[in-house]
Structures are given as structure tokens and as C-alpha cells.
Structure 1
Amino acid sequence: MKTSTDVVVIGGGVIGLALARELDLRGCDVVVVERGRTGDESSSAAAGLLSAQSDAESASPFFDLARESRDLYPEWAADVEEETGVGVGWRRTGVLRLGSPESLERFAWQLEAGLPVEPLEVPEIGRRSGGRAAPDFRHGIFFPDDAVVDNRRLVRALRICLDRRGVEVAEGVSATRFLLEAGRCRGIETTASTVHSRAVVDSAGAWANFDETLPFEIPVEPVRGQIVELTDEAPFPTVLASDDVYLVPRPNGRILVGATVERVGFRKEVTAGAVAGLLTAALVLAPSLENARVSDAWAGLRPGTPDGLPIVGESAVPGLYLAAGHFRNGILLAPSTAVFLADVLLGGTGGAPPLFSPERFVESARAG
């Protein structure tokens, strides 16, 4: 492994891989350090939803960032596919959210703001869902611009990008400590060697808070999410969602049923109760799945933060940058996070809103 480089990226999930690719495209020498195998944690456990609008209950800087990143996907995914020959499964399926008029009212602001949103009633719900939605649902909202991507194929393709570009990716190597000299981060110590660098980016997901010697805490914790995979050969044209569950169609008749939100530490077990709850909610939303085969189930650890927002930008220690805490939105926010941090690291203009800055937690601690 190299002992010096321009930038060390800690973590080989979708955020770290996307950033490393972006930096290399701009002529930066990069080393990626991954404690396990690239893409094996939450990036592979996700459902690949690019749901910028269908989860947004109000206008906010986060909503703006999510839309921006979602809208980067068509060109970004096409570039990755052209570079690697690996299809990443980006599709603008839309998301059809169903519920009572009262539960859907929280999305009405998007219609008033002139965003692409389509209120639906019977029989349009049946047409949009290909007859999959339960007839009991009389009201829905369709978000036509939301999309999906095959996240496992995406992280595989990003890794191929780095391999073909000659970017060093050290798997099975854990970062153990940030190398701080004269108040600045100058690299990292790992289980393999010390790597000196001009900058370090911590994108280690749920493991971002690994160095207890830092003068501040990185407030990221693991949040378990469980997903069940069904196989059903009948067409499933769009993502269906309710307040209890989402159903994401994949090629070859696969449908992902997700997802739980559980704060149980670093435990990745698939539990009977979670599987039963997800399947019950899925059958309420789409009864036609009653005879679908349960083909798989898994759990992943999302990186959560106290306020539910990502931590992106330079930390209180010069030279140490964070790209952490993306929670359920790592796949969605990968393109915009990569572009923003590459701009910052290489001295460009622009920037994420202060709402996502690591400084917000330092200021909160001071106020407390």
C-alpha cells in the first residue's frame, strides 16, 4: 500500500467510491481504505430508491440537495456504465404513495410549489400500479421523477472504475487513528501501515466514529434496516409505498420489501418479527403478492446522526473531512456528495448548506 497520497478516503461504500472516482477524474491521487470488502455494508443492503420527492414532507435544504442528486443520476449512471460496461439499473419508475387523504396531505405543498406530482384516485391508481395496489386504497400521489438504481451493481461498477483508473483500493485494512500533527490531519494509521496525505475523508459509514483520540466526537451510530426479497413473475411497473412499507421492483421478477429502522447497535441479524411485519404490510399494500416466493432477506447498518442529516464538509481539524451519516440516503446522495467534496478538497467554489456542516455539532456541544 502507498505510504503517501493526495487524499485518503476511509470507507469503500458508495459514498467513498463515488468520491474517489470524482477526485481521480480531476487528477487527484487517491487511496481508498476499506475495513472489509468494498460495497459490502449498507451500500449493498439498500433498496436503491432515489426517492427525493416521495419522502419529502416540506421544503428544505435537504430536499434541494436530494433533488439535485437524483437529477444527476441519469448522466452519472450512464457515464459509469460506459466506463465499465456494467449496467447499474437506473430507471425512472416513479413512486406511487398510497394512503388516506389526511396522510397524503403532508405532500400537498409540492403540488402548490409546481413540482411534478400527480394526485390519483381510483381507477388511475390501478392503472399506474399495473393492478398491483390493493383496491382498498382510494387515494394516492404519484411522483414521476423519482427513480431506482441497482445499488449492488452500482458499487460493483464504481469499484471497476477505480481499478481501471489505477486507484489503489486497500480491502481488509482498517483505519485505526487519524494522524494529527500540529493541529492538522496529515494522514491515517491503519492495520497495514501509515499513509501520509494532504487530506483525509472519513466516509466509513456506521463505523465513522472509530478514533477515540480525536478532539471531538463524530456523532454517527448504526441503525439497522431489514429488507425481504420476494420473487413474483407478474409485472410490477412502479415503486409502491405506504407509511408502513415500500415495494421496489427489480428485474427478473424480484421485489424488495423494506425497511425497518432499528437502533440495536452493531447487530445485523435478520429477525422473524421484522420479516413478519414487513410481509404483513406488503400484503396490505399489494395483496397480489400473497403467493410470491420469499427468495432472500438481509439486514444492513445505516449510518444515522442525531438530527437525521448527513455530515459533509471539513471538520474542526483542518485536513480532516467528513462524508458520513447519510442514513437512508447514501445511494441517492452519492453523486452530489462526490461533486461537492471534490470541489471543496480541490479549492473550487460552491458548497453544501451549513445545515450539513460538521461544525453544527461542535456548536451544539458548546451551546450545551
Structure 2
Amino acid sequence: MANQSSDVLIIGGGVIGLSLAHQLALEKCSVTLLERGQIGQEASTAGAGILSPQAEMDQMSPLTDLCVASRDLYSNFVQEFISRSGIDIEFSKSGLLYVALSEEEQAELEKRYQWQIRTGLAVQRLTGQEARRIERDLSPEVRTALFFPEEAYVDNVKLLEAMTIACGLLKVRLVTGCQAISVKSQGQRVTGVDTNLGMWPTERAIIAAGSWSNMIDVPLPHKVPIKPARGQLIAVNCPALLLKHVTYSANGYVVPRRDGRVFLGSTVEWVGYDKNVTLEGLHRIISGALAVFPRMKSFAFSSCWAGLRPYCEDGAPVLGPTEIEGLFFATGHFRNGLLLAPITAKLMTDLIVIGKPPKVLESFSPARFKPN
């Protein structure tokens, strides 16, 4: 039996693919989403759920603008999925603390403070003593800190569960165990996607396959340079609600969750598609966390895991149309896939429904990789 055609076919069932599917379905498009494994089981649920453009970005840029705009959409974004799914998604806009433990780190924080103040972002400079009033178990070695009141975090596992339910309610066809092999075209127009489960006819295909995006054969004269970056994380059990805020340092982060766990992260490793957890990685994460919160040395270990983030060679995501009519990319979000999901879904849906690329997408166009 032939696979059913759809208005839009999305390759990839992570947070980006699901966000796109949901938004397009709201615009009355028929949508099929193909996922090589299970829905939301790669980078989207492997992270700590941090939504932190101000802590992640080192300068003002089109990517910083995009991340801040997407963070500002997040409260309504989460509420939409709570309403549709009935799942209580943990979302907290409690702010983020970024600490410095050395003179060099203090100088780097001052640079971050200055460019963010100049661009009108909300940031507060704190002494070590003031930082310990916010988080009383911080190390006495903390010299200074920045507090970003607009930063947030979300329970990414619950969010993906809610998104899957919401897409189902909107009649999005979710196909798991379906490995996309190639995008087919006739002339300069997309005609379908060939998979291990046969051909899926469509006139519009979006590659949102994260670290696996580069493995799909496309009718372009060039590759979009995406590669995986392994990130390892640890969960420990906190004996009481001692930690109140996501806390960053130069060597990692600590994320408290309502269920009593605390997430410690993370590494960035160029090891291909290897998702093993290593002693070296765990040692690096634990050392970074204990330098900031020494009291955590008595916390009980809960679990550890690793995920693969999709990294593009120039550090920016790949968003927008290609020279093949009907072929789009929405990938390469690296550490900011969860954060950028609302704005990616909005801009890409506007592009597909209206047919004109929003100007903000120019900096992220796949065309930047065309050979000279």
C-alpha cells in the first residue's frame, strides 16, 4: 500500500520537528512527521531544560536576538501545550545566577555585563556576598556573579510528552522507526522522501533531524555541515530544596528540579555518534559542580546519560528554504534547540504558509553553504 501524501513532511521527531508539526497543523496543513527512532528520544530530552540566551551567548548577534525573542515566547508556548495535553509541564522563570571563582572569570563576567547593559538586557551585577544571599550554599570562593532575572528552565521530558499528545490531537501523522534516506525531486521541485518504509509523497519537506540531518541525501550541490556534539549529564538527589536557581560557572551548570533532583552538566565532546558516558566526562562535571556548591559532595547519585547536539560548523542554526522548491532546513540548533523551538516554529510556518522568507531568517539560510 502506498504511503499517504501530506502538505508538509517533517524529518525528525525532536522538539524542533514537533514544534513545526504543531504550528503547521494549527494552520490547517496536513502534516506527516518521520522519526528514525522514537519521538523525542535524542537531544531534546537529553538536556537539562535550560532557557538561557544571556548565559549562553558571548556577544550581541543575530543568533542572540533570535534566542532572546524565542525565550520571550516561552510562557505562552508552554501554556499552549499544557492546555492541549493536560500535562503539568514544569516551567520556571526564576532567573539564572552566573558565578565567577577566579580573577579571570570575574573579568569575563564583567565583559558579559557590559555588552548586555548596552543592549538593554536585564542583568544585575552582584558581589560574592550578595550572590550567597540568593543561593546560601554557594562556595565562599565565589568572588562575584551576574543574575539574569528573565532566564528560565522547563522540564523538557514533560514538554516533549505534551507536544506529542498535542500533535496527535491535531491529526499530525507521527511515524516512528522510519529512517529517511533521501529527498526526491523532479526538476527543481520536491516530490517526496524515500525511507526504509518506502516513499512518502510530498511537495514540501523539512529536514529537522538534528545530528542526523547530514545523513539524508538531498538534491543539492553541497552538504549542510552538521555534526554531533556529545553532552554528558548527571542527576543527583538533593536532600532538601536547598537550591533555588539555575547556576552557571565557567565549568558547568547546576539545575534544580521540583522533584528533588539536581542536574549537573555538561560536556561538549567531538566523538562522532558515540553516546557513551565516560569517567573523564563525569569527573569534569562533578569537579565543576563541587567548586560552586561544595555541600553537594554528600548528595546521592541518581543517574547519568549523554545526548548528541546538532552543531553547524559556523555555530548558527540552519533555517529556511533552499534552491530546490519545497526543500527546507530547520536544524543545527546545538545547545539551544529547546530554547529556539517557539521562534523556529513560528518563522518556518510563516515561510511555508505565506511563501516569503521572514527577513530574520537571512542570517541562518542554508544558502550560506553554497560553493562560491
Question: Structure 1, residues 229-261: CA drift from partner, whole Å, max 9, x if none?
Answer: 111132210011111110011112111111100
Match in the other structure for 1:239: 246
Q: What is the CA–CA distance in structure 1 between the aligned matches of 2:297 and 2:240, rounded to whole Å?
A: 12
Q: What is the CA–CA distance in structure 2 between the aligned matches of 1:213 and 1:201, rounded to whole Å?
A: 11
Q: What is the CA–CA distance in structure 2 between the aligned matches of 1:7 and 1:144, rounded to whole Å?
A: 38
Match in the other structure for 1:335: 342
Q: What is the CA–CA distance in structure 2 between the aligned matches of 1:238 and 1:21, rounded to whole Å?
A: 31
More divergent stretch after superposition (50-59 vs 240-249): 50-59
Q: What is the CA–CA distance in structure 2 between the aligned matches of 1:90 and 1:2, rounded to whole Å?
A: 38
**Which one-letter code corresponds to 1:209 in the other structure?**
N
Match in the other structure for 2:212: 207
- Aligned pair partner of 2:184 in 165, 179, 182: 179
The answer to whether residue 144 in structure 2 is matched with residue 139 in structure 1 is yes
Question: Structure 1, residues 76-108: CA drift from partner, whole Å, max 9, x if none?
Answer: 101110110112211012110011421212212
> How high is the TM-score relative to the length of structure 1?
0.96
Q: What is the CA–CA distance in structure 2 between the aligned matches of 1:214 and 1:46, rounded to whole Å?
A: 32
Q: What is the CA–CA distance in structure 1 between the aligned matches of 2:138 and 2:50, rounded to whole Å?
A: 19
**Which one-letter code corresponds to 1:340 in the other structure?**
L
More divergent stretch after superposition (288-297 vs 97-106): 97-106
**Which one-letter code corresponds to 2:124 in the other structure?**
E
* Secondary structure at 1:288 match in 2: helix
**Cα pair distance change 1:180/1:217, threshold 3 Å:** same
Match in the other structure for 1:51: 52
* Secondary structure at 1:57 match in 2: coil
**In 1, are the aligned partners of 2:322 and 2:366 still within 8 Å (CA)?**
yes
Match in the other structure for 1:269: 276
Q: What is the CA–CA distance in structure 2 between the aligned matches of 1:18 and 1:89, rounded to whole Å?
A: 18
Q: What is the CA–CA distance in structure 2 between the aligned matches of 1:330 and 1:355, rounded to whole Å?
A: 17
Q: What is the CA–CA distance in structure 2 between the aligned matches of 1:321 and 1:348, rounded to whole Å?
A: 12
Unpaired runs of 5+ residues, structure 1, are none
1:167 positional shift: 1.2
1:123 positional shift: 2.2
Unpaired runs of 5+ residues, structure 2, are none
Question: Structure 1, residues 157-199: CA drift from partner, whole Å, max 9, x if none?
Answer: 1000011222110001111111111122122011112111120
**Which one-letter code corresponds to 2:165 in the other structure?**
I
**Which one-letter code corresponds to 2:206 in the other structure?**
V
Match in the other structure for 2:130: 124
Please list, as runs of the form range in 1=range in 2, the aligned pairs for 1:160-309 lying within 5 A after superposition. 160-212=165-217, 214-215=219-220, 216-235=222-241, 236-309=243-316
* Secondary structure at 2:235 match in 1: strand
**Which one-letter code corresponds to 1:103 in the other structure?**
E
Match in the other structure for 2:37: 36
Question: Structure 1, residues 63-88: CA drift from partner, whole Å, max 9, x if none?
Answer: 11101100100011011101101122
Q: What is the CA–CA distance in structure 1 between the aligned matches of 2:271 and 2:279, rounded to whole Å?
A: 15
Please list, as runs of the form range in 1=range in 2, the aligned pairs for 1:14-25 lying within 5 A after superposition. 14-25=15-26
Identity of aligned residues (%): 36
Q: What is the CA–CA distance in structure 2 between the aligned matches of 1:92 and 1:213, rounded to whole Å?
A: 40
More divergent stretch after superposition (144-153 vs 342-351): 342-351
What's the Cα RMSD here? 1.3
> How high is the TM-score relative to the length of structure 2?
0.95
Question: Structure 1, residues 258-297: CA drift from partner, whole Å, max 9, x if none?
Answer: 1100011110000011001100110001111110111010
- Aligned pair partner of 2:121 in 110, 115, 124: 115
Match in the other structure for 2:328: 321
* Secondary structure at 2:285 match in 1: helix
**In 1, are the aligned partners of 2:319 and 2:361 still within 8 Å (CA)?**
no
1:342 positional shift: 0.3
**In 1, are the aligned partners of 2:15 and 2:337 still within 8 Å (CA)?**
yes
More divergent stretch after superposition (211-220 vs 265-274): 211-220
Q: What is the CA–CA distance in structure 1 between the aligned matches of 2:306 and 2:269, rounded to whole Å?
A: 10
1:213 positional shift: 5.6
